[in-house]
Structure 1
């Protein structure tokens, strides 16, 4: 019952926060405002549900703190990145397809869906706030979270520096972490949520929330993350096809040597 209360509070917070974000998006005339909200939304849900947690205090503090740190960093990064660029082309295409009145359709299909996904993905955090303690699995979760957070943060910073150099215009970043995976930030993001899930595994209810990190991983690797981004890169950067041949799409792996040799001959 206590977890159900936390889940209800989290859902209410997510819905209200998305409505506020949508109002801000209309005022800014930028529907990609939801990207900035994404990480912040998880932080808000974790903090709002914290007082309703009944589990071990140190576990509650740890899982809430890790969620807030990840969420605030991601939101700040996306805000700084997006504020210097025009509306994300993905949202521009959605507006174009929506017709004369895009606002209601985007609210339902993007903003409301994001609120529900955010709530569902947050379930391990809510369950961990009712957990019995950290334990071995919990410390393993912290290690996975740290690896993911590092991957995501370093990958984002490497990409920011690459884009900031005018000499790299039209080129493809294939050094640093980007040498081993085409999306170190997405891979790191997935690891963060698997780490938070492991922190929830001190109870069977927490372990049962496994579909939440699965859903996040699928969304990043197969859904709205990697595929949509790569579709645009294939159109705008011819060299990206060679990069795809030799570089892992998600999990970090050594570059494929045969593809490297083919690219060199070309």
Structure 2
């Protein structure tokens, strides 16, 4: 995978190190802002024509690779900013995080370091398809030295845009709804499509990134990096849906409106008859 992957890992490690201040930040603020920083780093590498492979200078931006990098920055800044604002403004969110995620006070330093490095590696793997499209030497547009803007690049870009838009709308919808109905579950707008549209948006975003690298990845380890990034974040999102389902059942389980909503609205996949993942204990998130 080469020098470029080490750069993205180092960037993610530097940013996500804020988790040493507050443990949950490894997977929240550190996640969003790490992705944004990686996107910015890839833009710089591409614009500078940086030498990131053993074959010499191969960097170069095409319209799609530039757009993919920009979208990583947009995605990361939006997510990180949203999580930061929610943490500062929402007492109920802070209470939920304290109950469900360790605050780090009792976590040994070696475990914190392992969490930090694992998170940084995951963030580098998630974004690796964009790196490989930016830097690989096969399937080149000879004028720029970067992978050509083919069907995988355009398809991945389109899916990524849909995912970011859906996640943004879902977060805004729920925040606005909770201001007027703080004690009711959100079942309006995109929440009529699935019960966790923000997690669906997340899955779509990273599916788009993954697809964008299909025709750019070269070799076993590049495919491993891409697949691990996509599979792990998808698993985590299903785990997040499970955690939310359990919390909502605890909070609203006595409400017949909620029971009807939960029984007829898929948990995460639109139009699929998957209404509950609460019993799937192997899911985490």
TM-score, with normalisation over the residues of structure 1? Answer: 0.80
Q: Distance in 2 between matches of 1:79 and 1:85?
A: 10
CA shift at 1:205, angstroms? Answer: 2.3
Q: 1:216 to 1:33 in 2, by over 3 A?
A: closer
Task: Say if 2:152 is the partner of 1:137.
Answer: yes
Where does residue 189 of structure 1 map in the other structure? 202
Where does residue 234 of structure 1 map in the other structure? 249
Q: Distance in 1 between matches of 2:247 and 2:110?
A: 23
Where does residue 48 of structure 1 map in the other structure? 41
Q: Distance in 2 between matches of 1:107 and 1:233?
A: 30
**What are the residue-to-residue correspondences of 1:1-266 with 2, within 5 Å?**
3-19=1-17, 21-25=18-22, 31-34=23-26, 35-50=28-43, 51=45, 52=50, 54-58=58-62, 59-86=64-91, 87-95=94-102, 101-102=106-107, 104=109, 107-108=112-113, 110-130=115-135, 131-165=146-180, 168-205=181-218, 208=223, 209-221=226-238, 223=239, 225-238=240-253, 239=255, 240-253=258-271
Q: Distance in 2 between matches of 1:94 and 1:227?
A: 14
Q: Distance in 2 between matches of 1:101 and 1:91?
A: 13
Q: Contact between 1:141 and 1:194, CA under 8 Å: does it hold in 2? A: yes
Q: Whose helix fraction is larger, Structure 1's or Structure 2's? A: 1
Where does residue 28 of structure 1 map in the other structure? none
Q: Contact between 2:178 and 2:184, CA under 8 Å: does it hold in 1? A: no
CA shift at 1:147, angstroms? Answer: 1.3
Q: Distance in 2 between matches of 1:162 and 1:134?
A: 40
Secondary structure at the aligned position of 1:10 is classed as helix
Q: 1:94 to 1:159 in 2, by over 3 A?
A: closer
- Structure 1, unaligned runs of 5 or more: 26-30, 257-266
Q: Distance in 2 between matches of 1:177 and 1:139?
A: 25
Q: 1:49 to 1:94 in 2, by over 3 A?
A: same
Name the count of aligned residue pairs: 242
TM-score, with normalisation over the residues of structure 2? Answer: 0.75
Cα RMSD of the aligned pairs, angstroms, is 2.7
CA shift at 1:125, angstroms? Answer: 2.2
Q: Distance in 1 between matches of 2:202 and 2:74?
A: 13
Q: Contact between 2:129 and 2:217, CA under 8 Å: does it hold in 1? A: no
CA shift at 1:121, angstroms? Answer: 1.6
